[in-house]
Amino acid sequence: MLALSGYPLGVQCLFLDRSADAPGAQVAPILVGELTDSALLEELAARSDVVTFDWENIPGSALEPLERTTRVRPPRAALEASQDRVVEKALFSKLKIPVAAHAAIDSKEQLLQATRKIGLPGVLKTRRLGYDGKGQFVLRDAAHIDAAWAAIGTTGLIYEEFLAFSREVSIVGARSAAGRTVFYPLSANTHEGGILRYGIAPLANTKLERSARKYLERVMHALGYIGILAIEFFVVKGRLIANEMAPRVHNSGHWSIEGCVTSQFENHLRAICDMPLGSTRALGHTAMINFLGKMPDRDRLLAIDGLAFHDYGKQPRPGRKLGHCTILRKHAKDRDKALAEVLSLIDST
Ligand code: AMP
C-alpha cells in the first residue's frame, strides 16, 4: 500500500522482507533475507534515499548502521520505545498521557504481588514482540494465576489492570521534518480475540479527538518524529487511556485510502521524503473491515456499491490479516447498514 501510494508521487520503493512472497513484492523489487542481515541492509541503504519500516519488531541494532549512510525515518528512538510495553508506558507517563496501572513482571512471585497491588481482573502480556493479542493472558481471578504463568510465564512480562472500556479508538497523524503535523479523524475500533476486526471513522467526538491529538502531538514532538504515528486508546468513563503506539502506517488508518483526501500511506511517504503533507479531511463516513484467516467471496463483496477491495496476496493462516475492504457513505447510518451487510457476508463465506 505504501508502494502503490508512491507511484503517482514518483517515489520508487525497494523492500526488504524475510519472505519472497511478501505483499510488497507484487508491486516493487524486493531483497529477501533476515532483517538483521548486514549485507542486505547495506545494499538497501546504498540504493535508497530514505529507509522506513512498516513493522515494529525490527531490532533497533539493525537500523543503527544505516543511520550513518542514509536517512532512517521515523527515528529509531520511536521504534525502540514502541518495542517494549514498559518503556512505552514510561514514555506516555512522562508526557502526562494516562495509562493503565501496570507492573513489570519477571517471576511468578512478582505476578502474585502485582495482582494484589493492581487488582484483578488483569492482563499478563509479553513486554516485547506481542501484537494482535499474541502473548497475552486475561486473568479473571486469582485462580487464573497458575494458568497464566503456565501459558506465558517467563521473564520480560507486564501485568496491566483490565480496563472496562466503552470503546477502543485510535488516532493517526503525520509529522514532517520541519515539525508540521496533520491528524486524521478518530477511528473507533472493534477487536476480536485481540485482533482488529473492523473500524469506523470519523468518530464524531470533539472532546476525545482533541485529547487524542494533543497526546499524539506530544509524543511526536518528544521524539522528533518524522512520518506516520498511531496511538491506540481505551475510552474509560469518557477519558482516553493510552494502550500502545505504532511508529508506522497503522491498520486503523487503512480507511484513509478511500476515506480521506490524502491516505496515511501517501502522507507517510510525503513526510519521510520531505514533501508537503496532504489534507487529512474525511470525504464521508467509512468502515474498514479486515479479512482475517481466510479471504471472503470477492465478487459478492464487489457487488456492494462503492466497496473498495484490498487483497494482500498472502497465504491464509488462522487469524492472519489477508486483506481488507472499505465502504464510504455520505451518512453514518448508511455506512452502518453497509457495514452490517459486509460483516454478515464475510461470516457466511
Ligand atoms: P494489545 O496487543 O495491547 O493492543 O491488546 C490487544 C487487545 O486486547 C486490545 O485492543 C484490547 O481489546 C485488549 N486489551 C489489551 N489490554 C487490555 C487491558 N489492559 N484491558 C482491557 N482490554 C485489553
Q: Which residues pair with 236 in a beta bridge?
A: 239
Element (H, E) at 87: helix 85-94
Q: Residues 262, 265, 271, 273: what is their CA dihedral angle, to the nearest 10 degrees? A: -120
Pull the grid cell for residue 5: 501510494
Count of C-beta atoms within a 10 Å radius of residue 245: 25
Spell out the residues 6+ positions from residue 78 whose beta carbon is closer than 8 angstroms to its own.
Answer: 223, 225, 229, 245, 247
CA distance 41 to 57: 16
The dihedral built from the CA positions of residue 15, 16, 20 and 22, taken in this order, carries a sign that is negative
Our CA angle for 267, 271, 274, nearest 5°, is: 130
**Could you report how far apart the first and last alpha carbons of the chain are, in Å?**
25
Q: Is the Cβ atom of 121 under 6 angstroms away from ligand 1?
A: no
CA distance 179 to 197: 33
Q: Is the Cβ atom of 123 under 6 angstroms away from ligand 1?
A: yes
Q: Is the Cβ atom of 183 under 6 angstroms away from ligand 1?
A: no
Q: Nearest Cα to 212, choosing from 252, 169, 246, 250?
A: 169
Amino acid letter, 21:
D
Pocket probe mutation, ligand 1, options 92, 118, 120, 123, max atoms within 8 Å of Cβ: 123
Spell out the residues 6+ positions from residue 224 whose beta carbon is closer than 8 angstroms to its own.
Answer: 75, 77
Q: What is the pTM of this model?
A: 0.96
Tens of pLDDT, residue by residue, the chain (349 residues): 999 999 999 999 999 999 998 999 999 999 999 999 999 999 999 999 999 999 988 999 999 999 999 999 999 999 999 999 999 999 999 999 999 999 999 999 999 999 999 999 999 999 998 666 667 899 999 888 999 999 888 889 999 999 999 999 999 999 999 999 999 999 999 999 889 999 999 999 999 999 999 999 999 999 999 999 999 999 999 999 999 999 999 999 999 999 999 999 999 999 999 999 999 999 999 999 999 999 999 999 999 999 999 999 999 999 999 999 999 999 999 999 999 999 999 999 8
CA of 331 to the centre of ligand 1 (A): 30
Pull the grid cell for residue 57: 519488531
**Spacing of C-alpha 275 from chain mean position:** 23
Looking up cell 476525545 gives: 208
CA of 241 to the centre of ligand 1 (A): 11
Q: Is the Cβ atom of 100 under 6 angstroms away from ligand 1?
A: yes
Give the chain's largest Cα–Cα span: 58
Give buried/exposed letters for 287-302 (b at 16+ CB in 10 A, else e): bbbbbbeebbeeeebe
CA of 194 to the centre of ligand 1 (A): 6
Pocket probe mutation, ligand 1, options 128, 234, 292, max atoms within 8 Å of Cβ: 234
Q: Is the Cβ atom of 168 under 6 angstroms away from ligand 1?
A: yes
CA of 51 to the centre of ligand 1 (A): 30
